[in-house]
């Protein structure tokens, strides 16, 4: 049985345990939960691609609606990361009562924001799907899929908040139980609903929303039972200071997630002139890189509570040690994954659309091109997590805006006009390369500041 620590024991663990062991202990559950989440995102794409009639269009529909799911994630991650960062610093300062108010405010705000999205989305469903980049042949599949996803928006957004609240308290194991159980359930339900019950793409959507409901329920129970901070309605407040701090801390996540949605929409529109196979191919490639990136994000999420607690406790040398340890592991991880992706690109594409040679050809080139620059993301992601957790919100926001916003959007909007489908395939690698060039000097500057603070810490 996983031991439940008191607040004081948790503080001691986070500020005194050797960094490699501490980060690894916290990172393993988050890596597992992120990978399971990525697998069940891939599961929808995989099983939908096996539908005998309209498989390519249905696969494209999953990619189109993915941008809608990214909007829900943007709400959840903005409030979850903002709350979690704030909570970890408050716990580092031993301010339990303030942390409880922050947790409740983030959770209930996510529920309300998700309900508003449900209402607006269902009332404007067809225009919304067309705006997301659906073709006429993809539209009916995308509408069926999106309807169920919209119904689940309130508790999906709230689940992201609960996950982050648990994680930033150092309770990654309990966060993993919620996310992991829902993810495994989704994988099991997909073939049952899609094929055995003959529900097609509606079955994929229903499997997703039911599994997300299970995740939400488990996470809420874990917060009430095992969280240092339980969720209580009476702690919900409209305090301007709390909202301001949550939103400042969550803005980088909002930029990152909302721009991911916008980028997916623009990618769909960029691929649209080249037909449903182009949209399907880029959907598969995007999902594969999200799977690889999820491992990095999971590892980085093991770093964030360590960073937040120790920064709040003014133990800057431990913050630096944790950052360098995580960066080295992340760089090796992405290098290995990129090498495997480059070598086995056609085989990966065949897993999803073995019957469509056009999808395989388009996707294989795009996947290999992105593998060449993907290792750069180790520095970009780890620097962004460091900046966001220690409250360097301007720098974190700039990095969050860069990859999918400042650089990808102009490239995907311009390059296909000159290079056709090649422009679509090269857009993300080009954006990743430029983002790395922006992240490097920012990271060097902030690490230099932390080194000075660590030196002062040693003197005092």
Q: Which residues contact 165 (CB under 8 A, 6 or more apart)?
A: 80, 83, 84, 87, 103, 106, 107, 223, 227, 229, 231
Q: Is the pLDDT of residue 123 over 80?
A: yes
Q: Is the pLDDT of residue 101 over 70?
A: yes
Mean pLDDT calculated for residue range 275-300:
86
Confidence of residue 55 (pLDDT cuts 50, 70, 90): low
Q: Is the pLDDT of residue 354 over 60?
A: yes
pLDDT in tens, 180-210: 888 889 889 999 998 889 898 899 899 999 9
pLDDT exceeding 90 applies to what percent of the chain? 45
Could you tell me which of 151, 158, 146, 152 has the C-alpha nearest to residue 76? 158
End-to-end CA distance of the chain: 41
At residue 1, the pLDDT reads 45
At residue 420, the pLDDT reads 93
The shares of helix, strand and coil residues in the chain, as percent rounded to the nearest 5, are: 90, 0, 10
pLDDT in tens, 129-158: 998 888 888 899 999 999 999 999 999 999
Mean pLDDT calculated for residue range 159-178:
85
Mean pLDDT calculated for residue range 22-27:
88
Confidence of residue 460 (pLDDT cuts 50, 70, 90): low
- Residue 184 phi, psi dihedral angles, 5° rounding: -65, -40
Radius of gyration of the chain (CA): 21
At residue 40, the pLDDT reads 66
Lowest mean pLDDT among 57-61, 113-117, 256-260, 419-423: 256-260
In contact, 322 and 307? CB cutoff 8 Å: yes
In contact, 434 and 402? CB cutoff 8 Å: yes
At residue 226, the pLDDT reads 64
Mean pLDDT calculated for residue range 83-110:
89
Indicate yes or no: pTM above 0.95. no
- Locate 231 and state its tokens: 């969720």
At residue 113, the pLDDT reads 96
* Torsion (CA) 365, 371, 373, 376 in degrees, nearest 10: 160
d(CA 86, CA 311) in angstroms, rounded, equals 11
Distances (CA, A) of 156 to 15, 69, 143, 359, 440: 32, 9, 19, 31, 34
pLDDT in tens, 396-412: 888 888 988 889 999 99
For the residues of 359-426, what is the DSSP string, one character each?
Answer: HHHHHHHHHHHHHHHGGGHHHHHHHHHHHHHTT-HHHHHHHHHIIIIIIHHHHHHHHHHHHTHHHHHH
Residue 52 is given by DSSP the state: S
* CB-CB neighbours of 192 under 10 Å: 12
Q: Is the pLDDT of residue 223 over 90?
A: no
At residue 132, the pLDDT reads 86
* Torsion (CA) 4, 9, 13, 16 in degrees, nearest 10: -170
d(CA 42, CA 54) in angstroms, rounded, equals 18
Lowest mean pLDDT among 136-150, 180-194, 246-260, 340-354: 246-260
d(CA 348, CA 87) in angstroms, rounded, equals 41
Lowest mean pLDDT among 167-171, 239-243, 246-250: 167-171
Q: Is the pLDDT of residue 2 over 70?
A: no
**Mean pLDDT of all residues in the chain?**
88
Q: Is the pLDDT of residue 53 over 60?
A: no
Q: Is the pLDDT of residue 340 over 90?
A: yes
Q: Which residues contact 55 (CB under 8 A, 6 or more apart)?
A: 48, 49, 353, 355, 356
d(CA 366, CA 416) in angstroms, rounded, equals 13
Q: Is the pLDDT of residue 356 over 60?
A: yes
Mean pLDDT calculated for residue range 213-223:
92
Q: Is the pLDDT of residue 298 over 90?
A: no
Confidence of residue 389 (pLDDT cuts 50, 70, 90): confident
Q: Is the pLDDT of residue 265 over 90?
A: no
d(CA 175, CA 430) in angstroms, rounded, equals 35
pLDDT in tens, 67-82: 888 889 889 989 998 9
The residue that leads in pLDDT, 172 or 174, is 174
At residue 64, the pLDDT reads 83
């Amino acid at each position: 049985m996983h031991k439940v620590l008191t607040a004081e024991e948790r503080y001691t663990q986070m500020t005194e345990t050797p960094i490699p062991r501490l980060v690894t202990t916290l990172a393993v559950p988050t890596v597992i939960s992120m990978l399971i989440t990525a697998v069940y995102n891939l599961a929808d794409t995989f099983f939908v691609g096996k539908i005998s009639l309209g498989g390519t269009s249905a696969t494209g529909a999953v990619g189109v609606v993915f941008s809608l799911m990214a909007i829900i994630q943007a709400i959840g991650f903005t409030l979850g990361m903002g709350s979690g960062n704030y909570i970890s610093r408050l716990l580092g300062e031993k301010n339990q009562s303030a942390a409880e108010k922050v947790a409740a405010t983030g959770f209930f705000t996510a529920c309300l924001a998700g309900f508003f999205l449900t209402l607006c989305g269902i009332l404007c469903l067809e225009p919304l799907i067309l705006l997301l980049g659906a073709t006429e042949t993809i539209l009916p599949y995308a509408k069926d899929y999106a309807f169920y996803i919209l119904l689940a928006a309130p508790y999906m957004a709230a689940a992201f908040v609960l996950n982050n609240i648990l994680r930033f308290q150092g309770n990654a194991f309990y966060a993993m139980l919620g996310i992991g159980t829902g993810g495994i359930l989704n994988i099991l339900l997909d073939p049952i609903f899609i094929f055995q019950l003959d529900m097609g793409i509606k079955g994929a959507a229903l499997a997703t929303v039911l599994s997300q409901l299970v995740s939400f329920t488990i996470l809420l129970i874990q917060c009430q039972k095992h969280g240092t901070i339980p969720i209580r309605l009476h702690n919900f407040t409209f305090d301007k200071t709390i909202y301001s701090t949550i939103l400042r801390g969550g803005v980088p996540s909002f930029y990152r997630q909302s721009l991911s949605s916008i980028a997916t929409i623009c990618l769909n529109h960029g691929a649209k002139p080249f037909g449903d196979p182009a949209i399907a191919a880029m959907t598969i490639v995007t999902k594969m890189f999200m799977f690889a990136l999820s491992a990095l994000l999971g590892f980085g999420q093991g770093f964030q509570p360590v960073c937040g607690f120790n920064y709040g406790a003014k133990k800057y040398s431990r913050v630096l040690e944790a950052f360098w340890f995580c960066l080295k592991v992340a760089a090796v991880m992405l290098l290995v994954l990129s090498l495997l992706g480059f070598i086995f690109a056609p085989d990966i594409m065949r897993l999803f659309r073995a019957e469509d040679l056009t999808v395989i050809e388009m996707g294989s080139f795009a996947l290999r091109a992105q593998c060449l620059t993907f290792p750069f993301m180790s520095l970009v992601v780890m620097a962004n997590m460091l900046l966001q957790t220690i409250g360097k919100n301007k720098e974190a926001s700039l990095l969050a805006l860069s990859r999918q916003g400042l650089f990808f959007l102009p490239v995907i909007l311009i390059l296909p006009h000159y290079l056709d489908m090649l422009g679509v395939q090269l857009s993300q690698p080009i954006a990743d390369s430029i983002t790395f060039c922006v992240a490097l000097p920012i990271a060097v500057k902030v690490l230099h500041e932390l080194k000075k603070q660590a030196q002062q810490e040693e003197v005092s």
